[in-house]
Homo-oligomer: A and B are copies of this chain.
Amino acid sequence: MKLSRREIAMAALLAGAALAGGEGEAAPVSVTERIEHGPRPSADPSYFTKVTGGEYIAMVLYPGMTALDLIGPHYFFSTMRGAKVHLVAPTMAPVACGQGVTLSPTATYADVPKAVDILFVPGAGFPTLDAMKNDQLIDFLADRGERARYVTAVCTGPLLLGAAGLLKGYRATANWGIRDKVLPAVGAIPVDARYVVDRNRITGGGVTAGIDFGLHLAALLRGPDNARVCQLLAEYDPAPPFDSGSPHKAWPESVSLVQSMIASFSDDLVKAGKARTNRA
């Protein structure tokens, strides 16, 4: 099997992240570039029948969360045969996400093992503020995050990891609108990237970044060959009709519009983050 330079770089990155495991001072890596079409190791023909892993993946639900933040990576986690992918909440009562989407938990906090393979937290719009002040949620994240193999979040979810004290000294990303201002308030070092791997913390940008992040995690846990098959199953060959998906590409008027909408909200998030940090 011959590998291109990009394939080798990706393999090294995956291996490095898998081995880092939370200790030491491994250099943070931000990954945004596409891996080129490479050589062709044969796909594993037992992929769809083989039950491997048995990883426990805890995806946290909370009121007002953005469903797409979670459902994106959930798709890829669910393609990992044998993995136990759970939507977790304090009780089994359905959780009203934003915009009329209501999701049912599959496990309660108490059901979740002490040491999970992936702890994942979605983001939200304005309800992020309530979530940062939600002791039950933040205490759960702090407890399971301490022992999880990977501690992960996208959009404004990294602020909740930060509120739980899990990002102190870690490089991280988050929704572009609040990243640079609010992440430092919880001790994290903001990085402008689609997703960021720093030791065992993996964070993604806003909403749809969860899809790229999820595919990356599937590759970390089950290898890049399997992840490529999952990408084909998801027909994940994006073709947005516009090119306005980041503040670097959108019209300045669009960026200003969003920033003006969230200015006082991000001030409130900074306050909530600092209150948590001072308390810890």
Interface residues of A (CB under 8 A from B): 10, 31-37, 40-43, 45, 47-48, 66-68, 71-72, 74-75, 78, 85-87, 94, 98-104, 106, 155, 175-176, 194, 205-209, 211-212, 215-216, 219, 224, 227-229, 231-247, 249-258, 261
Contact = CB atoms under 8 A, between A and B. Distances in A.
A163 to B, nearest CB: 21
Nearest to A98: B78
A238 B243 CA distance: 10
User: What are the nearest 4 A-B pairs in CB distance?
Assistant: A206-B235, A237-B245, A78-B99, A238-B238
A31 B240 CA distance: 10
B85 A74 contact: no
A232 B176 CA distance: 9
Given A71-B71, A100-B85, A175 B235 contact: yes
A235 B176 contact: yes
A206 B7 CA distance: 26
Q: How many copies of this chain sit in the oligomeric assembly?
A: 2
A102 B104 contact: yes
A48 B68 CA distance: 20
A201 to B, nearest CB: 17
A155 B235 CA distance: 9
Contact of A257 (B43, B194, B205, B252): B43
A87 B71 contact: no
A250 B236 contact: no
Contacts of A227: 241-242
Given A43-B254, A229-B250, 5 more contacts: A37-B243, A78-B98, A206-B233, A207-B234, A232-B255
Given A31-B241, A103-B103, A106-B100, A250 B231 contact: yes
A106 B212 CA distance: 30
